[in-house]
């Protein structure tokens, strides 16, 4: 990627970041930004058969393809951004780099005994709301 480019192929990274930030802080600003992104996709990239990228966001010139990651990742993260955290709990699931959820399972030591896995710290609210619990 280059600074100063004016194309948009509907990549998932920004929406993914917003989803994680909302889940960890509870700050609805991240959902607002995600909704703005979704509305921009609807306004600028929606066509009769799906969504396409933009060759130039300034002119609105569209390209002629919908990248597979748009459906597989970008829309998945948008869905999760507006779903309750219980839909895919971060205490039970982790996402790989292609946005596939993988269940967290306990590991076993050489003696067959279960090894306790560390529970992630989940902060449902931002620092301004103070510590919970």
Domain coordinates of the chain in residue numbers? 12-103
pLDDT tens, residue by residue, 42-92: 999 999 999 999 999 999 999 999 999 999 999 999 999 999 999 999 999
Question: Is residue 130 predicted with pLDDT exceeding 80?
Answer: no
Q: Report pTM.
A: 0.76
Task: Provide, rounded to the nearest whole percent, the portion of the chain with pLDDT above 90.
Answer: 72
> Are 65 and 53 within 8 A, CB to CB?
yes
Instruction: Name the residue among 132, 122, 7 with its Cα closest to residue 62.
Output: 7
- Strands (E) across the chain are located at 46-47, 50-51, 54-56, 61-62, 93-95, 101-103, 107-108, 114-115
> Are 11 and 69 within 8 A, CB to CB?
yes
> Are 10 and 53 within 8 A, CB to CB?
yes
Residue 132 pLDDT grade (very low, low, confident, very high; cuts 50, 70, 90): very low
Residue 97 in marked binding region: yes
Both tokens of residue 71?
A: 């459906």
- Residue 25, judged by CB atoms within 10 A of its CB (0-12, 13-18, 19+), counts as middle
> Are 51 and 10 within 8 A, CB to CB?
yes
């Amino acid at each position: 990627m280059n600074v100063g480019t004016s194309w948009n192929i509907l990549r998932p990274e920004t929406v993914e970041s917003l989803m994680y930030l909302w889940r960890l802080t509870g700050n609805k600003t991240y959902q607002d930004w995600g909704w703005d992104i979704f509305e921009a996709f609807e306004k600028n990239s929606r066509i009769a058969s799906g969504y396409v990228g933009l060759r130039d966001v300034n002119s609105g010139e569209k390209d002629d393809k919908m990248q597979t990651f748009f459906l597989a990742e970008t829309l998945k993260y948008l869905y999760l951004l507006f779903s309750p955290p219980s839909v895919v709990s971060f205490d039970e699931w982790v996402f790989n780099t292609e946005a596939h959820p993988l269940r967290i399972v306990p590991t076993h030591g050489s003696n067959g005994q279960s090894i306790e896995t560390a529970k992630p710290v989940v902060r449902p609210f931002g620092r301004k709301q103070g510590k919970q619990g």
